[in-house]
Chains A and B, each alone.
Chain A
């Protein structure tokens, strides 16, 4: 089944590259190069997945999600960026993206990530896993332990992602099903999005300031 995808990125060359790489496997139904273009387009097309650049000329990917997510709950966002700035990446995830991959990702991996996103799974690149581990670094006791602390298993899964393991490899190594691995990653994503832990904000702020 070909997924319906909208591609939001202000670099024409990059959009052309993604189009040719995804070509057969997914259906790119629309393209936009700014927040202002993307919002009405996504409302109109109601795609399954939006491939979203973290940085756009008139705002960020987070702005697109903020304006669309409530009225189009079925649309899922996958952040795609060259940016390594932790606060940008965490920012777009906190806004509601289902995952983050770098633009250097290979074609087949991107197709896989799109499929995963469309299925409602979380897509963590090694780098994102590193950021999240850093952000949830064991610190002082959290207010809401249910939300604010990663379980040992979740931490283990994230560490394996950071080490470059794919979900299938993680499942084999931890003697779990791939589905279970996916649900652990989704749980981490939920914690990341719902946690109002001050530490997250402080962590991001520190990285900007120092």
Chain B
């Protein structure tokens, strides 16, 4: 059934006379198949039209000339043209025979012409536009003549015709709208699926391949798994802060770098976010240095980092449970702590504290007052 709607942007049905289940020439059942409605409805419509001055009979003849039988190729253009002209003429005559005044018949003819034009083109081209304009004109003309000042036509008989047409077109347009929605849903799903497939291919499958190759190196495998996990997490549970250009995303990136470089997981917890400026950037760099130090020197198998954006100040704590050392005997050569952490924090207007004891692990605490 849906094949009838597969072509053309307007998705108008293709009509053909139906061989199976036909009563006469297969015209009614063919139109019914094209519209996706019960043939009885179409037959009823033709019967109603036939009562209107015999227009139904002539229309049937025109349609029989125009429509090909089943899957056969279309008739010669001459036969189709004759059929179309016959249809149009008989429609006009039939409607006038119904007792309709010109004020109804000509708008209807305009509409029909517009519809034919709109249908004749498979692209959203000029002809479609002209056709739609013609239909619009027809409707305006009809309303103006019949409901405007001095309208005098009796609409009893025409309304019969309108109801007959609604019987057929109503269900069809309803179903068409439904199919549009369904089609859209299917398309969106397909797009999501292909995005998912691309993501899995680019990251997960690549990582699995690497894991198999490096299976002998547990540290490397753990690092690979860790990186993959981080990427998937960021994608599956997008964090509003991580997307931004603030402290949160910068510290995420710094922690990821340290994990990559040193192969030690960083358990990062953070609350809140602030925009990056020079001072906050200095804070991030100091924190990165603290994490890298812990990864390099402590021997701990995990580093904890906590970023707390308070009302007054921003605090970052970097903690490990590694070997620790005695801060009193810290050699001056340890450039990292003296310059990269303390110096940097001091220049930014903050402070750095270090707590450590041999065997008790190390914690670096960075504080930066919030600028107002």
| Distance of A129 Cα from B308 Cα, bound (Å) | 11
Assess the B270–A83 pair: CB atoms within 8 A: no
- Contact between A85 and B267, CB atoms less than 8 A apart: no
Within 8 A of B (CB), among A153-170: 159, 162-165
The answer, among A82, A83, A130, A210, for a CB contact under 8 Å with B306, is A130
Q: Tell me if A4 counts as interface (CB < 8 A to partner B).
A: no
Q: Is the beta-carbon distance between B304 and A84 smaller than 8 angstroms?
A: no
Chain B interface extent, by class = 10 to 19
Assess whether A126 is interfacial by the CB under 8 Å rule. Answer: yes
Cβ A137 vs Cβ B272 within 8 A: yes
Q: Mark A187-210, 1 if CB is under 8 A from B, else 0.
A: 000000000000000000011001
| Chain A positions 61-112 with a Cβ under 8 Å from a chain B Cβ | 82-85
**Which chain B residues (235-281) contact chain A, with CB distance < 8 Å?**
237, 239-240, 267, 269-272
Cα A123 to Cα B317 in complex, Å, equals: 21
Contact assessment for B306 and A162 in the assembled complex, using a CB-CB cutoff below 8 Å: yes
Cβ contact of A159, chosen from B229, B239, B306, cutoff 8 A? B306
In whole Å, how far is B305's beta carbon from the nearest beta carbon of chain A?
A: 8
Residue in A127, A133, A164 whose CB lies within 8 Å of B308: A133
Residue numbers in B under 8 Å from A165 (CB-CB): 319
Which chain A residue lies CB-closest to B363?
A163
- Given known contacts A84-B233, A126-B269, A127-B269, is B311 in contact with A138 (CB within 8 Å)? yes
Within 8 A of A (CB), among B340-370: 363
Residue of A nearest to B320 (CB): A164
Knowing A129-B269, A134-B271, A163-B317 touch, does A84 contact B237 (C-beta < 8 A)?
yes
The smallest beta-carbon distance between A93 and chain B, in angstroms, is 16
Residues of chain B with a CB closer than 8 A to A127's CB = 267, 269
Are the CB atoms of A133 and B271 closer together than 8 Å?
yes
> In whole angstroms, what is the CA distance A82 to B270 when docked?
17
In the bound complex, do residue B237 and residue A85 qualify as a contact, i.e. CB atoms below 8 Å apart? Answer: yes
Contact yes or no, B306 A164, CB < 8 A: yes
Q: What distance in Å separates the Cβ of B253 from its nearest Cβ neighbour in chain A? A: 17
Contacts of B229 in A (CB 8 A): 82
B299: shortest Cβ distance to chain A, in Å? Answer: 16
CB neighbours of B271 from chain A (8 A): 130, 133-134, 137, 162
Chain B residues numbered 203-245 whose CB sits less than 8 Å from any CB in chain A:
229, 233, 237, 239-240
Interface on A for B, CB 8 Å cutoff?
Answer: 82-85, 126-127, 129-130, 133-134, 137-138, 159, 162-165, 206-207, 210
List 15 additional A-B contacts (Cβ < 8 Å) besides A162-B306, A207-B239. A82-B229, A84-B237, A126-B269, A126-B306, A129-B269, A130-B306, A133-B308, A134-B271, A163-B317, A163-B363, A164-B267, A164-B304, A164-B317, A206-B240, A207-B240
Binding site for A on B (CB under 8 A): 229, 233, 237, 239-240, 267, 269-272, 304, 306, 308, 311, 317, 319, 363
Give 7 closest A-B pairs by Cβ, nearest first.
A164-B304, A130-B269, A210-B240, A134-B271, A85-B237, A163-B317, A163-B306
